Every structure is written in structure tokens, then in C-alpha cells.
Amino acid sequence: MRRPRGASPPVPLPEHLPRERLVHPGPTTCACCGGARLRSLGEDVTETLERIPARWIVIQHVPERFSYSDCETIAQASAPFHPIPRGRAGPNLLAEVMMAKFGLHLPLHRQSQRFAHEGVAIDVSTLAGWVGAVGLLAVSRTPGLGVMVKPEVLHAASQVRT
């Protein structure tokens, strides 16, 4: 079938994306004669673009604890680093929340709704606490950032509710 005049060819899908190959088995016998002597004539490959939804996982950190038999001393492996002390959010989740809020301008209440839709209820106040903690972490780790973001004038909107 010919393409209509002026139509451009389809843009190839990005090469850096991983490919998943699904082979659809063909017939094992001939529909006309019933013979089973088939030979391959090549293949036609059609690519479709798919998005696998995000996966939620819980990572259990288990620092091992031992007791030495000779001296009865107890030793334990050090706990892993958490970006927010005593926080339950991993670095990837925090990065996603920050990117969605500041990179995609997605409000925290919408992120909370999206997470709830995916089966993980995270309150808006919790997300706000995470954003504040990551902001403090960034300011404390980057000298001069606090001076750059410190405003001389604070602009605020007021609403009168009746």
C-alpha cells in the first residue's frame, strides 16, 4: 500500500530502549496438503512502544548481629544511610517526588492521589515533609546555595474566605 503524498515515513523507535522479543509461533503443518516439512522464509518484525508502570517495592535492610563466643561481645553491621533520618522513603522515591514537584510542576496532592491509585497511600503532609527535608539536605550539602535561594522580598498571595 502506498503512502499518501506528503506523508513522512514513521520515525524509528529509540535504539537505546531495551527490546523484548515475542515470537508468535506459526503453523506446524501445511493448510493445503497437511505436510510437516516447513522451512523458514525469514521474519517480519513489528515494533510497538510500551510503558511498564512503576513498581513499588519494600526493601528490608537487615544488619546482621553476632555474639562472639570467646568474649561475649556483641557486634552488629552498620545501618544503611537514609537521606532523611528515621525516614521510610528511599532515595529513588525522594528523587521522583522532587522531580515531579519541581521538574514537572505536579502538586503534592496530585502525587498523593497518584500513589494512592497505585495502592500506596502517602499523605500530602508526609510528602511535604520529605520535600522540606530534601531541601534542607541540599542546602546543607551545597555551600552558598542557602544564600542563592534566600529572597530579599517574600511574595505571598492572600485569600479572603467568607
Closest CA to 136 of 124, 149, 125, 120: 149
Residue 149 reports pLDDT greater than 80: no
Number of domains in the chain: 1
Question: 131 is written with which cell numbers?
Answer: 520535600
pLDDT, tens only, 4-60:
677 778 888 889 989 999 888 888 777 777 777 777 788 888 888 787 878 899 988
pLDDT band of residue 65 (cuts 50, 70, 90) is confident
Domain assignment present for residue 56? The answer is no
Using DSSP, state whether 109 is helix, strand or coil: helix
In a domain, 3, yes or no: no
Q: Which stretch of DSSP H or E encloses residue 14?
A: none
In a domain, 58, yes or no: no
| 60 occurs within a structural domain | no
**Is residue 29 situated within a structural domain?**
no
Q: What is the torsional sign of CA 109, 133, 91, 75?
A: negative
Q: In which residue are the cell numbers 546543607 written?
A: 140
Task: Give domain status of residue 130, yes or no.
Answer: yes
Q: Point out which residues pair with 67 in neighbouring strands.
A: 74
Amino acid identity, position 137? L
132, part of any domain: yes
pLDDT, tens only, 66-84 = 887 777 788 888 777 888 8
Q: What is the overall mean pLDDT for the chain?
A: 83
* Domain limits for position 96: 90-146
Provide the 8-state DSSP code for 74.
E
pTM strictly above 0.75: no
- The residues, any chain, with a CB within 8 Å of residue 78's CB and separated by 6 or more, are 63
